[in-house]
Amino acid sequence: MVERPIMPVRIAPSILSADFANLGEEVRAIDAAGCDWIHVDVMDGHFVPNITIGPMVVKALRPHTTKPFDVHLMISPIDAYLDAFAEAGADILTVHPEAGPHLHRTVQRIKGLGKKAGVSLNPATPAKMLDYVLEDIDLVLVMSVNPGFGGQSFITSQLRKIEAIRKAIDKTGKPIALEVDGGIDTTTARQAIDAGADVLVAGTATFRGGPSAYAANIAALRGD
């Protein structure tokens, strides 16, 4: 197995838990508080049971920060929307295997747009879905809740999946990020990190307490 360098844990606050009436200010606040990425949950009311935002909102938020936009596309069919989110300012585009007929082609398109490509696995989606795309992608996102709504409880069975994917990533020797999203708090953050995660998405745990609390919330999740 390739020796894995110790990477600092990156925190990607999910703006799904932000104050939607003041999104620009919220993005600036979490940037100033020390977040690493901005996680944008895009839901279509079809692939997942909720509707959130589209590329116009991503474009509107782009001037408010230089931090990477980590855009999780929970929409189907997926391919028709890749260009719009890339043009809106996404840095990472993450898709689900179930959201289109040809995952490898979707990944190729994302890379062709000059963006980093991620693949997200729902709780019941097995790690083996990555077998023939892992070396082509930049990020794996393990959902530790069923996607659709914030504030859900962490599904502990996903820790085994995180461990398995960590081993698979390490065998490639490539700097593929392993991200976990859902039910992340100071306790589950440590469990996910111990299992091999190096990026944590946290909505409720980041935005709790308002802007004055964001820096401490992020530091606590990172384990500082």
Residues annotated as binding site for substrate? 14, 72, 148-151, 181-183
Could you list the residues known to form a binding site for a divalent metal cation, using ranges. 39, 41, 72, 181
Q: 43 in helix, strand or coil?
A: strand
Q: Say whether 41 is catalytic.
A: yes
Provide the token pair at 195. 């299992």
How many CB atoms lie under 10 A from the CB of residue 174? 13
Choosing from 70, 138, 181, 198, the catalytic residue is 181
> d(Cα 71, Cα 55) in Å, to the nearest integer?
10
> d(Cα 58, Cα 53) in Å, to the nearest integer?
8
Could you list the residues known to form a binding site, using ranges. 14, 39, 41, 72, 148-151, 181-183
Taking alpha carbons only, the member of 188, 163, 159, 196 closest to residue 7 is 196
Q: Say whether 181 is catalytic.
A: yes
Provide the token pair at 158. 């996903």
Choosing from 36, 41, 70, 198, the catalytic residue is 41
Angle among Cα 131, 132, 135 to the nearest 5 degrees reads 95
Active-site residue set: 41, 181
